[in-house]
Structure 1
């Protein structure tokens, strides 16, 4: 049973209710003298507390993505693929089918030399006969830190949540790509450092892989990027650094746009990767930021700083500020009906492209 799955969370809730009910039922029925009855009663109280604490702990983990699996929690890779293991090059990367139509692969980027996981979901139209010569826009989704691509699947209820928006017409058909943002487990705020070129991984290697194996529209206006928390900062930053790749970006509860000294200790490197400094270059990109008035990790003042820095032709839409909500998936899911349609409106529509035969996705067994 998955650590981050809904089933495990509901099982713990049921166990807590049963533990309390059993304690109430059996409290007066424990046999023996008073000197003996206290031990079973202490055990019953401890069981109630343990199950209740487990429910809270799992809720916190699912909200913040602290641990993505049992192996991650226990510090045991159990022989599975680790972040440091080199993957095959992009031209030999194989996608395998995961749950709910999601495809997954693990590959090594040509330019960054980093290896990491990438999830891809294609809209229903992608496989329909009338769309076989069509190419589609792309939405790149970035997770937070700590976290993983599966954070969007578990916490964001993908692909169901975005499939519903597409079915209603609020979001146009698009390929959804979810890459790991910190290959090798090294957080750089999606920046290129001397040892970890995470920006190159996200803005060059991942798009090259997806372009090669899926029927994508390749112009920047067909590629949008959206993220939450650290991924929100990364979305805005990468669009401003790579406007030739991403023409639009959305940030939900982003980390401070000035950068994090705890992640990039070199002040010059941190400044060079700050959206507040990148705004001076005036990249022609469209940005949208959403937060909650109660989110102390992503205050409204963070958005204000970006508003003051942005200059045309960079555009920053009026922000979405929810009155209530913390730094968690409950808040981010309430933003979905606003942020995803906004991003979709800034993407090119799927269309037939003459002279560009459909790509063949390599599916492994």
Structure 2
């Protein structure tokens, strides 16, 4: 059973409850004096507390997506990425490695429920590769849509994050299916990844001087690979990007820096510039110019505003980015007032922390917003 599966979490909860009951039941027998009784009390308390912490930890991991597998948890996952060979022209850039059926009201037919494909995406421009999940809506499999190219959205986790959390935690495919069924959104393909394509380093979706070319991977390699394998549009107006936390910053930045690739971006609880800490290392190679260019506030003040639509989210109580988000909104409104083409929308909650609970409340509205700004033509 997988680390993030419901069965593992439920089994741990049941085990902790049974051990607690066993402790209560056996305690009178262990209340006697003597070395054996003392060690018995210590042992049963230790086992019960470990089981309780394990249950809480497994539940938290499933909710927040810290680790995606047992090997990830215990540090035995040693593969840093996918090796990309450049010796064959036209080498397949998307390889499907698994198919996950969706079950909607008891029907798992792709034409009714859609389908999720686990894929490996190779990036010849960046030299990077990554596993991803691609959600194909039911319409993708229906004959009347067979000649249609679908809009596509790149969906990113936070750092470190797991791609599975986008499916099991934030439920992007399930939300997309319901929105289309309710007539609130056009069908679109979702390409779900984590921004950590050079683990364990947090590259903040940058082309690091002398390091991983993450920005090139997401803005050139991924769209090109997906366009070559699936029926999706090939223009910026066909592509959007959305993410939470670090993924939210990446989404906004990549749309602002690459309007030729993305026409709309949604940042849920984003930051507005790259941090420098132990997880990132030196992202800029000592270049102040590069550091400024990756500061979204600075870009609005000093560079022409790009023709993109942006959505940002925060909450008045619980989010540290609230003041920066208000400032960012005002800056975009200011440049828009001067006739520049950037557009801004927002989701501001009364309260909500920097967590999955908050993002679950924002994902449906953000997806609906994205769907309204992308074209299938």
If the TM-score is normalised by the length of the shorter chain, which range does it land in?
0.7 to 0.9
Post-superposition shift, 1:226? 0.5
Q: Is the CA contact (8 Å cut-off) linking 1:65 and 1:144 kept in structure 2?
A: no
Post-superposition shift, 1:243? 0.6
Task: Write out per-residue CA displacement over residues 257-316 of structure 1, whole angstroms, 9 at most, x where no aligned residue.
Answer: 0321223354432211122123232001111111233434x4211202312332221111
- Matched residue, 1:226: 242
Post-superposition shift, 1:241? 0.6
SS of the aligned residue for 1:135 comes to coil
Task: Write out per-residue CA displacement over residues 70-119 of structure 1, whole angstroms, 9 at most, x where no aligned residue.
Answer: 111112138xxx22440456732321233233112224312111122222
Give the 3 Å change call, closer, same or farther, for CA 246–85 of structure 1 in structure 2. Answer: closer
Give the 3 Å change call, closer, same or farther, for CA 32–148 of structure 1 in structure 2. Answer: closer
Moved more, 284-293 or 264-273: 264-273
Q: Distance in 2 between matches of 1:158 and 1:40?
A: 48
- Matched residue, 1:42: 42
Residue 187 (structure 1) aligned to one of 197, 202, 220: 202
- Matched residue, 2:100: 99
Q: Distance in 1 between matches of 2:85 and 2:124?
A: 10
Q: Is the CA contact (8 Å cut-off) linking 1:291 and 1:321 kept in structure 2?
A: yes
- Matched residue, 2:104: none
Q: Distance in 2 between matches of 1:32 and 1:261?
A: 57
Give the 3 Å change call, closer, same or farther, for CA 269–62 of structure 1 in structure 2. Answer: farther
Q: Is the CA contact (8 Å cut-off) linking 1:83 and 1:115 kept in structure 2?
A: no
Q: Is 1:130 aligned to residue 157 of structure 2?
A: no
- Matched residue, 1:67: 67
SS of the aligned residue for 2:133 comes to strand
SS of the aligned residue for 1:134 comes to coil
Q: Is the CA contact (8 Å cut-off) linking 1:261 and 1:270 kept in structure 2?
A: no
Post-superposition shift, 1:35? 4.2
Residue 165 (structure 1) aligned to one of 171, 179, 194: 179
- Which runs of structure 1 show a deviation greater than 4 angstroms over 4 or more consecutive aligned residues? 30-35
- Matched residue, 1:86: 83
Q: Is the CA contact (8 Å cut-off) linking 1:65 and 1:145 kept in structure 2?
A: no
- How many residues align structurally? 344
Post-superposition shift, 1:42? 1.9
Post-superposition shift, 1:33? 5.1
Q: Is 1:332 aligned to residue 354 of structure 2?
A: no
Q: Is the CA contact (8 Å cut-off) linking 2:128 and 2:217 kept in structure 1?
A: yes
Q: Distance in 2 between matches of 1:203 and 1:228?
A: 18
Q: Is 1:283 aligned to residue 312 of structure 2?
A: no
Post-superposition shift, 1:219? 1.9
Give the 3 Å change call, closer, same or farther, for CA 323–47 of structure 1 in structure 2. Answer: farther
Task: Write out per-residue CA displacement over residues 143-169 of structure 1, whole angstroms, 9 at most, x where no aligned residue.
Answer: 111123222123223422322222222
Q: Distance in 2 between matches of 1:120 and 1:106?
A: 10
SS of the aligned residue for 1:12 comes to helix
Unaligned stretches of 5+ residues in structure 2: 102-114
Q: Is the CA contact (8 Å cut-off) linking 1:67 and 1:147 kept in structure 2?
A: yes
Q: Is the CA contact (8 Å cut-off) linking 2:241 and 2:251 kept in structure 1?
A: yes
Q: Distance in 1 between matches of 2:150 and 2:193?
A: 18
Give the 3 Å change call, closer, same or farther, for CA 15–87 of structure 1 in structure 2. Answer: farther
- Matched residue, 1:6: 6
Give the 3 Å change call, closer, same or farther, for CA 282–181 of structure 1 in structure 2. Answer: same
Which of 1 and 2 has higher RCO (CA within 8 Å, sep 6+)? 1
Moved more, 60-69 or 193-202: 60-69
Q: Distance in 2 between matches of 1:204 and 1:146?
A: 22
SS of the aligned residue for 2:240 comes to strand
Q: Distance in 1 between matches of 2:122 and 2:233?
A: 23
Post-superposition shift, 1:7? 2.2
Q: Distance in 1 between matches of 2:151 and 2:213?
A: 25
Post-superposition shift, 1:229? 0.6
